[in-house]
Amino acid sequence: MTNAKKKERIWEIDFFRGLLILYMIFMHLMYDLQYFYGINVNYNGGILHISRIIFAPFFIIISGISTAFSRNSFRRGLIVFLVAMGMTLVTYIMDSELFIVFGILHFMGIWMMISPLFKKLPTLWIFAFCGVFIVISLIIPHIKVSHNYLFMLGFYNSSFASLDYYPLLEYGWAFLLGMGLSRILYKEKKSIFPFTIKSRFVNFFGRYSLYVYVVHQPIMLLLLKPIMKIIL
């Protein structure tokens, strides 16, 4: 049973997800340095800002691809969403004015839960819906609203704030693209590469990405406190 489970894993999924998780940790480190310790790393501008725009969709795309290997996407999504709500509660307790209202884990949890509906569709339809969501993502920023009731979908006004924000409609195309690509690239449920990159370090972060996401920030802040005392 153990060997069978190992064979089911696609090394590149773990590897690329692991790289993205390591990138996320680096970005959160930059955030902590700027907003907790006043070190101007230009978090909201320059190359860091551009990289966030580029790399975030890749994380969602891989999540969409991973639904092809999930036996119960709804259950997996529910777990992710409950973890996300836990993070909302914790960040609210820390700062009730600026906390994670609807972040990437909320987004992915809900999309995982509804992904079984899209799994029933032909591949062409999935890509068609992906195109529709791309158009929606271009239109939504230009729609003005007077309330924040539909913030989960991407409709909000200037009074809305969230430490992390990935609305369902604006980034839905990336998840659907991943689902569509999984139909093409992983029909046989095996690696598409003729080689294997063996990196236990990177693959560890990819395989246990949810756990890493939850614990990395508290651990990093605990480590930064004594280090920054020495440096500053």
Cα 153 to Cα 23, 58, 138, 142: the distances in Å are 26, 20, 13, 14
Calculate mean pLDDT across residues 146-175: 95
Q: Which residues contact 185 (CB under 8 A, 6 or more apart)?
A: 65, 192
Position 71 pLDDT exceeds 80: yes
Residue type, 5: K
Calculate mean pLDDT across residues 147-160: 95
Position 175 pLDDT exceeds 90: yes
Question: Rounded distance, CA 128 to CA 134, Å?
Answer: 10
User: What does the DSSP 8-state code read for residue 198?
Assistant: -
Q: Which two tokens stand for residue 221?
A: 């802040």
Percent of residues, the chain, with pLDDT higher than 70: 97
Percent of residues, the chain, with pLDDT higher than 90: 77
Half-sphere exposure of 78 (CA within 13 A, CB side): 5
Question: Rounded distance, CA 74 to CA 140, Å?
Answer: 27
Q: What is the pLDDT of residue 2?
A: 44
Q: What is the largest CA-CA distance in the chain?
A: 59
Q: What is the pLDDT of residue 59?
A: 92
84, 103 contact by CB (below 8 A): yes
pTM value? 0.90
Give pLDDT tens digits for 21-38. Answer: 999 999 999 999 998 898
Position 3 pLDDT exceeds 60: no
Q: What is the DSSP annotation of 122-186?
A: -HHHHHHHHHHHHHHHHHGGG---S--TTTTTT---TT---SSB--TTTSHHHHHHHHHHHHHH-
Nearest residue to 214 via CA among 92, 111, 86 = 86
Nearest residue to 12 via CA among 1, 24, 20, 3 = 20
